[in-house]
Each structure stands twice: as structure tokens, then as C-alpha cells.
A and B are shown apart, each in its own frame.
Chain A
Amino acid sequence: SQQGEEDPQALSIQEGENATMNCSYKTSINNLQWYRQNSGRGLVHLILIRSNEREKHSGRLRVTLDTSKKSSSLLITASRAADTASYFCATGVPTGTASKLTFGTGTRLQVTL
């Protein structure tokens, strides 16, 4: 299975602190993406990093990718209570006209006031 593993499985921090989540995967990839899921809802795309990129920023998000170690990290800086959600990494491989994504196990982030 290509499914990635994320750690930690759960993370609880206080508002204002930084949150770091890690993702490991098993096979070669086209890209790696991070998604957020609020409880009982669909997923929202956060950031996509291509296999030839090493780091990418978007607002308070910073993603790194190390293809030699088959790992990625997501850093959320200055966290807010509204960041409370589950975060999933997903690795993409081409299929047909779109990328087929395989999701990691997810990290449940709880940000308290």
C-alpha cells in the first residue's frame, strides 16, 4: 500500500504556538498535497508541493518535501483555535487526466485558547 503515515496522530497545542506534522510515504510521487478536514466535512486543499520542490509557503503554512527520505512536513505558525481540524497528506500519481491521491493516516490537531 502506498498509504502514507503521519505523525503525530494527535496534537494538542495552545493558540499562538506552532504546529508541526510529519508525513512519510512509500513510492515515487508526482506531488504531495496537504488537506484539512473539519469534523464531518469534506476536505479543503491547503498546499501542493511538486516532487522537484523542497519547500513551499502559503500564508501561515510552510511545507517541506524530502524525496530522498520520502517525507514531508507541514508547519502551521501562530496557530488559532480555528485551525482545529484533521490534516492529511496525500501523494499523487498520474492516472488518466487527473492525479490519483493516496491519503495518509492524518493528524488531529486541537488548538485551545
Chain B
Amino acid sequence: GAVVSQHPSWVICKSGTSVKIECRSLDFQATTMFWYRQFPKQSLMLMATSNEGSKATYEQGVEKDKFLINHASLTLSTLTVTSAHPEDSSFYICSAEQGSSYNSPLHFGNGTRLTVT
């Protein structure tokens, strides 16, 4: 149980275009999902907290107009990278928590590798 599916697993796009990444909790409902970004051989940096039915909470330094997050249902959150540029190339990972306890582990998607040419 507790599977998080992330799609696509990789995407190549041209500079200036937008890319949408989906994160789905397959067998549980997730009121809260998290979006992370990871550069090669580095740690995960939290970008934003996605809340079902309300606006996402962005971390300091993350442009909310560039990284649009929508959490329209209890099983789906989407991250749209708008007007992508080469510096947006990175590995994006989503996660969701099963259960409502603050001591529950997060379940991660397999990530999306974005390459902007």
C-alpha cells in the first residue's frame, strides 16, 4: 500500500514552454502533498506544500508564479513549471503522507527529470 505515482518520469522541453507534472496517491487520500527539487548529487529542497482545496504554501525563494501548484482532489497534485528555462532543469519529486499523524512517514513518487533545452 501507500503508493505515490508521479508522471512523467522524464520530460524534455524547449525554453519558454510550460510543463505539467502530476503526483497521485494511488491507494490513499492525501490532504497534503509536498514538492521537492533536487540537483545532481545534492539533497532535496522543499519547494512548496500543496494543500487540497486551498492555495499552496511556497518556501522562501520559490517563485509561486513560475511553479504553479494545484491540488484539486485528495489524490492529485500538479506542479506546472511555466515558461521553463534551462536553469529549471532538475529532478522534481513529490511526496504525500498517509494518515493524519505528524509521525507518519512520507511516501515519495519516483521523480520527474526535467530537461529544458
- A interface residues, Cβ below 8 angstroms from B: 3, 30-31, 33, 35, 40-45, 48, 50, 88, 92, 94-106, 108
- B interface residues, Cβ below 8 angstroms from A: 4, 6, 31-32, 34, 36, 41-46, 49, 51, 57, 91, 93, 95-97, 100, 102-111, 113
Does the CB pair A96–B43 fall under 8 Å? no
Does the CB pair B31–A103 fall under 8 Å? no
Give the chain B neighbours of A99 by CB distance below 8 A: 97, 102-104, 106
Give the chain B neighbours of A102 by CB distance below 8 A: 46
- In the bound complex, CA of A43 to CA of B102 (Å): 19
Does the CB pair B49–A96 fall under 8 Å? yes
The total of interchain contacts (Cβ-Cβ below 8 angstroms) comes to 83
| Distance in Å: Cβ of A8 to nearest Cβ of chain B | 14
Give the chain B neighbours of A43 by CB distance below 8 A: 44, 93, 95, 106, 108
Does the CB pair A30–B108 fall under 8 Å? no
Does the CB pair A42–B109 fall under 8 Å? yes
Give the chain A neighbours of B31 by CB distance below 8 A: 96-98
Give the chain A neighbours of B51 by CB distance below 8 A: 96
Does the CB pair B106–A45 fall under 8 Å? yes
| Distance in Å: Cβ of A106 to nearest Cβ of chain B | 5
Give the chain A neighbours of B41 by CB distance below 8 A: 108
- In the bound complex, CA of A50 to CA of B105 (Å): 11
Does the CB pair A45–B107 fall under 8 Å? yes
- In the bound complex, CA of A43 to CA of B49 (Å): 17
- In the bound complex, CA of A95 to CA of B100 (Å): 11
- In the bound complex, CA of A50 to CA of B103 (Å): 7
Give the chain A neighbours of B102 by CB distance below 8 A: 30-31, 92, 94, 98-99
- In the bound complex, CA of A5 to CA of B104 (Å): 22
- In the bound complex, CA of A88 to CA of B108 (Å): 13
A-B contact pairs, 17 of them (CB 8 A): A40-B111, A42-B111, A45-B105, A50-B103, A92-B103, A95-B57, A96-B31, A96-B49, A97-B31, A97-B32, A97-B100, A98-B96, A98-B104, A99-B102, A103-B36, A105-B42, A106-B43
